[in-house]
Structure 1
Amino acid sequence: MVVTRAPSARLIDPTPLPKGAVGRLDSLTGLRWFAAFVVFLHHVQNLGAIPAFAPFLRYGTYGVTFFFVLSGFVLAWSYRPSTGAPTFYWRRFSRIYPSHFVALLIAIPIFYSFHPDPAQTWVKPVSFGILILSLPLIQAWWSNPVVELSGNPAAWTLTCEFFFYALHPWIMKPFRRLSANGAILVAAGVFVLELVYREAMDRTPGTAWVHHIPQPVVQLPAFVIGMCLAVAMRRGWRLSVPPIVAYALTGAFVLFLGLMAVYPLHTWIAIHILAFTPEGMVLVCALMIAAVATRDIVGARSVLRNRFWVTLGEWSFCFYLVHATFIYLTRSIFGPESHGWATLWWWAAMFVVGLAATAALHYFIEKPVERQLRTWWDARGAKADAGVRVPAMSGEAA
């Protein structure tokens, strides 16, 4: 890794980017798609699994870890002190909530019933008290899976994201004062705290308090590490590791974990690598993000900047929200499929159906509603600055 110093003063914001750099990091948008796709591969096994792939695809759930690190990186990279906290919060709400709400409405009939079939273990009895928690996205503050996965089960991650968003403007205040080396040191410190937490989990019984820390808090270090990487890059730090190396290390890590499930080793190092799998995933995700971002910043060629991958990356949030709903709808209609290579046809069908629903949600809800909400907020702010009273939105108290 190479550290260089940007010529600007440490406290100048927004930090000028080096000559030839770009503000948009489209390759990271393209990379988002692959994170969403591995989550899909993890979930689609509930319809039918291929035994040869199963030990490896079980780790597709860590695609959400990538999203957490990336979220911290992107928000810190695009941070501008002129954007106040209320505007930041409204923009994040406008970006996330409309798609979540529609996906929730679609998911409820699939995952809830007044008279659930015991054979359909994913269907829960209707409980309005639990369901209502998924509206303000606070369900993942409970460790009970029935509550944590209430509403649209995929939306537990949005509880984490909303928590991150709430903290982001305040974390950025001290982070603005960090040098490149300082940001890397903070990231290293946060990572060490993660290791300490995992070691405490491993050494204490399941009833200990450390096992009951809510998911938003548990996942916060991944977000903060992503922020640190972005701050370091705004200060001139670059990762001198090609993306292909980062991909290879990630693949090797997953390959090792999968093989360990089939051919377990009982050596000290193998046992500890397994124990620290979540932290290893944070590390490889951070490595991939830093490597890919560096390519865009220095203007190097990147396949991920191709419009095809960028478009899929822009769809990735909606794809994440709806794909499992259609997988379980299909299972409720046709039952679980037999394991084996023939299940690839079901995987392909689920991918096509999920992608079609994704496109509809993206183009008819996500983008237009976000645009309308942001336009209203910006117009409200502009009129308020001009001393003009702004009419209330429909349903808002005047």
Structure 2
Amino acid sequence: MTSSPPSAGRLPSLTGMRFIAAALVFSVHGAATGVFRDVDVAAGYYRWFGNAGALGVSFFFVLSGFVLTWSVRPADTARGFWRRRLLKIYPNHLVTFAAALVLMTLTSTAIVFPETLANLFLLQAWVPDSGYVETANTVSWSLSVELLFYLAFPLLIKAVGRIAPRALWYGAGAVTALILLLPLIAQSLLPDTPAFMFMQVSWTQIWFVYVFPVARLLEFVLGMLLARIVLTGRWIGLGMTGPALLTLAAYIGAVQIEHSPLYNYAAITIVPLALLIPAAAAADVKGTRTPLSNRPMVWLGEISFAFYCVHHLVLTYGHRAFGDDPNIFGKPSGPAWNTPGGLLFLLAAFAASVLAAWALYTAVERPVMRRWGRPPGPSRTDLPDVEKRTADAR
């Protein structure tokens, strides 16, 4: 049984959820920064938060396809769409890229080429070499992936728009199956040596599953299909509680599967996310108040992209400035604090990241989008002919 197609509207719960996802990414980078002196505490923290970033990134990739499809406007053009998306990501990227170079210079960190140029032009995700990801503001690798999404969207939206509503769930299931197959493909076709860090897989395998833009495009397409499912009244009516608990259970399960890390990057949590995102959108369409739709969470969601851009710099160079050797011009500090001190540093870095994100959003992101980033024509949250096709499907 299907419900009536939803009317146009904002999605405050999904906006608030964006900050939760960004905070998950912060948590894994907090673990990787190595702020705890106690080895057991450090290992435990990393064990429980080591997969948090992968969950947050997967959420962002599915959400990107969902929101862009939700907000399609018939009067828009491919060129106009591409211009707005570049204006959305590049100003923040350029500011944080410049900040990274300044901080690298102050700390005598080598600026390597061509890796740094690839980072500047957001091409680094296409190179199966960890050195291309781990330079300048390292989190920008995901923006390199998003660029493929934006480039492909005008073509993808035409293809997704032609799918009959009754076939959308089949399409979503097929794309999900492909996402689940990616780790198996990496294990079967790509070399598993040399092992990357302490893992039992190679960087090439990790890159294929986690970084390779074509592989991550599947999550974007899944988000597009899920948006059409909600827009055409094909959503199954599931509330947010069940998918949220299922996401938590899948994450805990991923923590336990240490011998198969490739599945932890997206495969284990993709089904819960594919249920959670449309459930939140459906709740917003109905006007249901959720813990994520209040004003503070929506504000945090609005600055979440800026938070994502700045948080790794705050963590990395904050540790260098206030760690063992509180001299930002000296060498990188090692683990410096007991457990309370490490937790205090993480809380302070989180607060500093929020403040820096607010400044970046206020001074750069919002003015640019208000001046040059408005789409043409009246708002539409549906695709051409969707009303007709929904009626035909019934």
Normalising by the smaller structure, the TM-score range is 0.7 to 0.9
Q: Deviations over 1:106-125 (max 9, x none)?
A: 11233x45995xxxxxx4x2
1:44 to 14, 17, 30: 30
Contact 2:168 2:225 in 1 (8 A): yes
Structure 1 distance, partners of 2:246, 2:131, is 36
Equivalence map 1:62-211=2 (5 Å): 62=54, 63-110=56-103, 112-113=104-105, 116=108, 123=109, 125-206=110-191, 211=205
CA distance in 2, matches of 1:94, 1:205: 36
In the other structure, the counterpart of 1:243 is: 240
Percent of counterpart pairs with the same letter? Answer: 30
How many Å separate the matches in 2 of 1:227 and 1:206?
Answer: 33
**Residue 47 of structure 2 corresponds to residue 55 of structure 1:** yes
- Judge conservation of contact 1:239–1:290 (CA < 8 Å) in 2: no
Aligned to 1:313, which of 284, 290, 301?
Answer: 301
Q: 2:101·2:111 contact (CA, 8 Å) conserved in 1?
A: no
1:254 to 242, 251, 254: 251
Over 3 Å counting, the alpha-carbon distance change for 1:156 and 1:292 in structure 2 is same
> Partners in 2 of 1:201 and 1:187 — Cα distance?
22
For 1:175, give the aligned amino acid: V
Q: Which has the larger radius of gyration?
A: 1
For residues 15 and 28 of structure 2, the distance between their equivalents in structure 1, rounded to whole angstroms, comes to 21
Return the TM-score normalized by structure 1.
Answer: 0.80
Deviation string for 1:244-273 (max 9, x for gaps)?
Answer: 211111111222233455xxxxxxxxx67x
**Cα shift readout 1:44-82 (whole Å, capped 9, x = no counterpart):** 121425444331111111211110000000001111232
Conserved? CA contact 1:179–1:232, under 8 Å: no
Alpha-carbon spacing, 1:258–1:342, altered in 2? closer, same or farther (3 Å): farther
1:332 aligns with 320
Residue identity opposite 1:67 in structure 2: F
User: 1:139·1:150 contact (CA, 8 Å) conserved in 2?
Assistant: no
AA in 1 matched with 2:363: F
The verdict on how the C-alpha distance between 1:102 and 1:275 changes in structure 2, with shifts beyond 3 A counting, is closer
Task: Tell me the CA shift for residue 199 of structure 1.
Answer: 1.3
Structure 1 residues 1-21: Cα deviation after superposition (integer angstroms, max 9, x where no partner): xx5165xxxxxxxxxx43xx4
Residue 339 (structure 1) shift: 5.3
1:346 aligns with 2:345: yes
RMSD across aligned positions (CA): 2.5
| TM-score between the two structures when normalised by the length of structure 2 | 0.81
Check conservation: 1:73, 1:228, Cα contact below 8 A: yes
- State the number of aligned residues: 346
2:21 counterpart letter in structure 1: A
The gaps in structure 2 that reach 5 residues or longer are 194-201, 324-332, 377-394
Q: Which amino acid aligns with 1:138?
A: L
AA at the equivalent of 2:67: V
* Aligned counterpart for 1:276 among listed residues 234, 244, 263: 263
**CA deviation after TM superposition for structure 1 residue 284, in Å:** 2.0
Is residue 5–residue 180 contact of structure 1 (8 Å, CA) maintained in 2? Answer: no
Separation of aligned partners in 1, 2:175 and 2:153: 16
- Tell whether the 8 Å contact from 2:15 to 2:302 is kept in structure 1 after alignment: yes
Work out the CA distance in 1 between the residues paired with 2:11 and 2:187: 38
- The 8 Å contact of residues 229 and 290 in structure 1, kept in 2 or not, is answered as yes
